[in-house]
Amino acid sequence: MSKTVLVVAAHTDDEALGCGGAIARHVAEGEQVHLLFMTDGVGSREVIAAEATERLTAAQQAAKVLGVSSFTNLNFPDNRMDSVSLLDIVQKLEAVINEVQPEVIYTHHNGDLN
């Protein structure tokens, strides 16, 4: 039976580092895997816009290599999620969950700083 999987990660690359093997296995088994990133991953650093664009492009290319079905970035402020209303975060997460209808969700361990 095919499953729909959602991976929720703080930044691009967290999905590959955290559960890249599981993503590859799900895709190999013919299951749909959707990626959802909470931040751009660079907003807390002194970077220029071109670097942020380059990081996003690399993440989209990695998603293609992994064979995922969709890639969404919510673009919340990197390392400043505590400055965003919890309601705003939940509403955006709920919208994606309602659209994707995942049976499996992977995300960070609760002790992870991300």
**What structural domains and CATH numbers belong to the chain?**
4-106 (3.40.50.10320)
What is the model's pTM? 0.86
Environment class of 40 (CB within 10 Å of its CB; exposed 0-12, middle 13-18, buried 19+) = buried
Per the CB < 8 A criterion, the answer to whether 51 and 63 are in contact is: no
Residues 16-39 have pLDDT tens digits of 888 889 999 999 999 999 999 998
Q: What is the mean pLDDT of residues 103-111?
A: 89
pLDDT: which is higher, 78 or 98:
98
Higher pLDDT, 79 or 77: 77
